[in-house]
A and B are shown apart, each in its own frame.
Chain A
Amino acid sequence: MTLLGTDWCLLSVLSVSAILIVISVQKEHTRVSWKRLLAKPIAVSAGIVFLCFLAVGILDSIHLNWSYPENSGEVQIRNQTILEHILYPLGTVYEKTYSAPFALKAFNQEIIIKQGKLVQGYPALKYSSARFKNKQERNQFIEMTVLKAVGVAVLLTGLIILLLRLIFSLGVGRVREGTRQAQRFSILTVFLCVFVIIASYCLSRHLHILGTGKIGQDIFYYTIKSIRTGLVIGILTTLFMLPFALIFGVCAGYFGGLIDDVIQYLYTTLSSIPGVLLITASVLSMQTYIANHPLQFPTLAQSADARLMALCLILGVTSWTSLCRILRAEALKWREIDFVQAAKVLGSSSLTILCKHLLPNMIPIIIITLVLDFSFLVLAEAVLSYVGVGVSPLTISWGNMINGARLELARDPIIWWPMGAAFLLMFILVLTSNLLVDALRDAFEP
C-alpha cells in the first residue's frame, strides 16, 4: 500500500473530522444542533449525496497492488487505487477518438473493411462491440440493467434503513428524530444514489456510458476520477488555511495591542493583492521550481501530486485572510463576555481560555466558512486550470476536462459529452455543499 502526499493529507483530514463529528454528537448542546440539521429534508439529501462523493474520493485515495491476468497468460501487477480497480478495465481501454454516449460505433467516419471491400463508414468500438452485435442487443441490455438496478436499489435501500434503525435503537441513542418529511427525503435520496451507482457501474462494464473523448478516453472514468481532485483541492486548502486563520485571528482579537496591529497589517497586505494574481504569481514560481528540480520528483505521478499539493498550499496561504478577519471579530466579541472574564479572574492562563472557552464557541462559524470556501474552491479549480495555473495537465480534473473540450462545441455535429459530464458532476458537488452550508448555518446559528 503506497500513499502519495495528498492521499495522506486527505485521509487524515477526513478521519479527524469524522472523530470530531462523533465527539460532537455525544455532547448534549451540539446534539441539539445536529438534530435540527437532520430534521431538514434538503440538508439530509445534500448530506447523503456529499457522502457519496466523499466515498468515491476516499476509494480513489488508497493505492494497492493488484494483479491482473494478461492475454499472454502472465500476471501483471499494477499499483492502482481501489476505485481504479473497481472500474478496471475502463482506465486502460482507449478507443481511437470521439464516440457518443452508449454508442457502438465511432463518431467519425473512416475507411473500413466491410465484406472484403474498403468503404467509408463508422468503425465499431473496441470496448462495446466485444459484447454487442447490434443496437437491439444493446438496448435490451440497457433495459435489463436498469430494471435490475431498480430492484437491487430497492432491496439495498431497505437493508440500509433497517441497519440504521437497528444501530440507533441499540446503541448511541436516537439521533434520527427528524420529521417524517426528512425521513422520506432521505430514503428517496439513498434510493436514487444507490440506483445511479449500481446502474452506471453495470452499464459501464460493457459500454462507454458517457462516450469517449478526443484521445478515446472513457469520459465516465475521467469524471469519476476528477471527484478526488475536486475534493482534494476543496479539503486540503481548508486544511492549510485553518492554522493561519485560527492562530492569527484568535490571537489578534484576544490579545489586541501590538499583536493585533501586526496581524492586521499582515492580512491587509495579503488581501490587497488581487487573489487571482497572487495565486498566479505563486503558481508560476512553483512551476519554475518543480521544472528546475527534476530530481526531487522522479515520477510523473509524483510531480503531478506535488503540483496539486502546492496548489492547495498556495490557495490556502492566499485565502486565509477572510476567515482570519471573521475570527478576529469573533474573538473581540467573546473576550468581553462574562464567563471569559470570570475565567481570567480565576487565574486561567491565556492558552486555557483560548482553547477551552473561545475556540468551542467559534466552531460553528469556522465550519460554515470552511464549507462555503469548499464550494468556491471547487469552482475556482476549473477557472485556474483554464488560465493555465491550475493542477498539472496530467492530473485528471474537471478543470482540465473543460479546458480540453473547449473547441469541441464548435464542431458540427457538436460533441457535448466531455464538457457536459464535467459540468454536471461539478455542479452536483458544489450544489450539495452550498445546500449544506445553508442548512448548517440555520442549524448551528439559530
Chain B
Amino acid sequence: MIHYLLRRMLYAVPILIGINLITFALFFMVNSPDDMARMQLGQKYIKQAEIEQWKRVHGYDEPLFYNAEQSGVDRLTQTLFFQKSLCLFIFDFGISDAGRDIGYDISHRMWPSLAIALPTFVLGLFLNIVFAMMISFFRATYLDLASVVFCIILMSISSLFFIIGGQYVFGKLLRLVPISGYEGGLQSIKFIILPVLVAVMAGLGAGARWYRTLFLEELHKDYVKTARAKGLSEVRVLFRHVLKNAMLPILTGVVVIIPSLFMGSLVLESFFGIPGLGNYIIEAIHQQDFAIVRAMVFLGSILYIVGLILTDLAYTWADPRIRVGAA
C-alpha cells in the first residue's frame, strides 16, 4: 500500500513539472514582464524607466532561465523560473502584484469556500442518487421518460439562470435570505443556504441522469435477477445490491471533485459575494494580478492529482477485489 502511494506520488512529479512549465510559458513567455508592467501601469505614454522600476519592485527584473551575471548556484536561482515558478513546489506562493501575501490570503479564504462547497457536495450527491434511484425504480414507464426529459431540461438551463432566479425569488420577492454577503460563525448559515440550494439544483439534471445510466446498467446483471428470485423487494434490491455495486463508478466521478471543492465555484461565490477562493480568483482576474492566478492554477492542479490518488484508494475500500499495491 505504502509502496503504491509512493509510486503514485512519484508519477505526480513529472506532471507537476509539466504544469509548472505550462503556466510559466503562459505568463512569462507569451507575455513578457514588460507587457505585464505596461498593463499594470496602464498609462498611455510609459517610459522604459517606469517599466524597469515596476519590474524591480515586483521582482520581475531577472532573466528567464539562466542568469549569466551571477556566479555559482545563483546563476540558476536568481532567475524568474526559479523564483516565481519553482517556489510553488514548496507552497511558497510569494507576494501578489498588489503586494499581499498570497499564502496568507489563501489560508483565510478557504474556509468560506469550504462552508459552501461541503454542504453542496453532500446534499447534491444525496439528492442525485435518490432521484436517480427513483427514476430507475419506475424505469420504462412514462414517469421515467418524464424524469429524463426533466433532467435534460434542467441540464439545458444556464447555471446563471438558477443563481439570478434564486436571488430574485428567495432574496428579493420572499425576503427569506440575504441576497449576498457573508459573515463568520453561526451567522453564516443564512448566507450559505441559498448558494448551496442553487448549486445543488444546477447540478441535479446532469448528475441524476448519469447515475440513472449507471443504475440501469447494473440492473441488467445476473445478481439482480438472483436477488429478485430470492424474493427481495425491489426497493431492497435497488438500495442494498445495486447501489453497492454501482459504488465504483460513482466514486470515480465523486472523489475527483472533493479537492476542487476547496477551490470553490468562481461564479457562485462572486454572485453571492462570498469571500472565498473562487471570488479571490475573479478579483485577481479583474485586477490582472497574474501572481495570484499563477498560484491558484498550481494549487488547483495539485488538488486534482491528490483527488486521483484518493480515487484509487477509495476503490480498494469500496471493492475488496481490487488490490492496489499488488501490480
A274-B301, A288-B35 known; A265-B172 Cβ under 8 A: no
Kindly identify, within residues 241 to 267 of chain B, every residue whose CB is under 8 Å from any CB belonging to chain A: 260, 263, 266-267
A266, A292, A375, A426: the one contacting B38 at CB < 8 Å is A292
Q: Kindly specify which of B19-27, B56-64, B87-95, B217-225 makes contact with the partner chain.
A: B19-27
Q: Kindly specify which of A181-189, A275-283, A348-356 makes contact with the partner chain.
A: A275-283
Whole-angstrom distance between the Cβ of B281 and the nearest chain A Cβ: 7
A269, A276, A289: the one contacting B30 at CB < 8 Å is A289
B26, B156, B260, B300: the one contacting A434 at CB < 8 Å is B156
Please tell me if the beta carbons of B300 and A386 are within 8 angstroms of each other in the complex: no
A265-B18, A274-B260, A274-B263 known; A285-B30 Cβ under 8 A: yes
Please tell me if the beta carbons of B19 and A285 are within 8 angstroms of each other in the complex: no
Q: Kindly specify which of B67-75, B112-120, B159-167 makes contact with the partner chain.
A: B159-167
Whole-angstrom distance between the Cβ of A337 and the nearest chain B Cβ: 23
Does A20 sit within 8 A of B, measured CB to CB? no
Q: How many residues of A contact B (CB 8 A)?
A: 44
Please tell me if the beta carbons of B164 and A431 are within 8 angstroms of each other in the complex: no
Please tell me if the beta carbons of A402 and B296 are within 8 angstroms of each other in the complex: no
- Chain B residues in 8 Å Cβ range of A273: 19, 22-23, 297, 300-301, 304
- Chain A residues in 8 Å Cβ range of B290: 284
Does B196 sit within 8 A of A, measured CB to CB? no
Please tell me if the beta carbons of B293 and A382 are within 8 angstroms of each other in the complex: no
Please tell me if the beta carbons of B157 and A427 are within 8 angstroms of each other in the complex: yes
Distance between Cα atoms of A409 and B167 in the complex (Å): 10
Please tell me if the beta carbons of A288 and B164 are within 8 angstroms of each other in the complex: no
Q: How many residues of B contact A (CB 8 A)?
A: 46
Does A333 sit within 8 A of B, measured CB to CB? no
Please tell me if the beta carbons of B267 and A383 are within 8 angstroms of each other in the complex: yes
Distance between Cα atoms of A406 and B152 in the complex (Å): 26
Does A370 sit within 8 A of B, measured CB to CB? no
Kindly identify, within residues 263 to 307 of chain A, every residue whose CB is under 8 Å from any CB belonging to chain B: 265-266, 268-274, 276-278, 280-282, 284-286, 288-289, 291-292
Chain A's interface: helix, strand, loop or mixed, by majority? helix
Whole-angstrom distance between the Cβ of A199 and the nearest chain B Cβ: 24
- Chain A residues in 8 Å Cβ range of B288: 284
Does A379 sit within 8 A of B, measured CB to CB? yes
Please tell me if the beta carbons of A387 and B285 are within 8 angstroms of each other in the complex: yes
Whole-angstrom distance between the Cβ of B3 and the nearest chain A Cβ: 21
Please tell me if the beta carbons of A281 and B18 are within 8 angstroms of each other in the complex: no
Does A260 sit within 8 A of B, measured CB to CB? no
Distance between Cα atoms of A382 and B153 in the complex (Å): 17
Whole-angstrom distance between the Cβ of B54 and the nearest chain A Cβ: 15
- Chain A residues in 8 Å Cβ range of B18: 265-266, 269
Whole-angstrom distance between the Cβ of A295 and the nearest chain B Cβ: 15
- Chain A residues in 8 Å Cβ range of B293: 277, 280-281, 284
Please tell me if the beta carbons of B36 and A288 are within 8 angstroms of each other in the complex: yes
Contact with B along A373-388 (1 / 0, CB 8 A): 0010001001100111
Please tell me if the beta carbons of B297 and A409 are within 8 angstroms of each other in the complex: no
Does B158 sit within 8 A of A, measured CB to CB? yes
Please tell me if the beta carbons of B267 and A274 are within 8 angstroms of each other in the complex: no
A274-B301, A276-B266, A277-B296 known; A383-B159 Cβ under 8 A: yes
Does A250 sit within 8 A of B, measured CB to CB? no
Distance between Cα atoms of A406 and B271 in the complex (Å): 10
Distance between Cα atoms of A269 and B11 in the complex (Å): 11
The residue among A379, A402, A414, A435 with the most chain B CB atoms within 10 A of its own CB is A379
A273-B301, A274-B260, A382-B160 known; A431-B153 Cβ under 8 A: yes
A284-B288, A387-B266, A409-B164 known; A272-B301 Cβ under 8 A: yes
- Chain B residue with the shortest CB-CB distance to A271: B304
- Which A residues are closer than 8 A to B by beta carbons? 265-266, 268-274, 276-278, 280-282, 284-286, 288-289, 291-292, 375, 379, 382-383, 386-389, 402, 406, 409-410, 414, 419, 423, 426-427, 430-431, 434-435, 438
The 9 closest A-B pairs by CB, nearest first: A269-B18, A274-B300, A431-B156, A430-B156, A272-B301, A285-B30, A288-B31, A277-B297, A272-B304
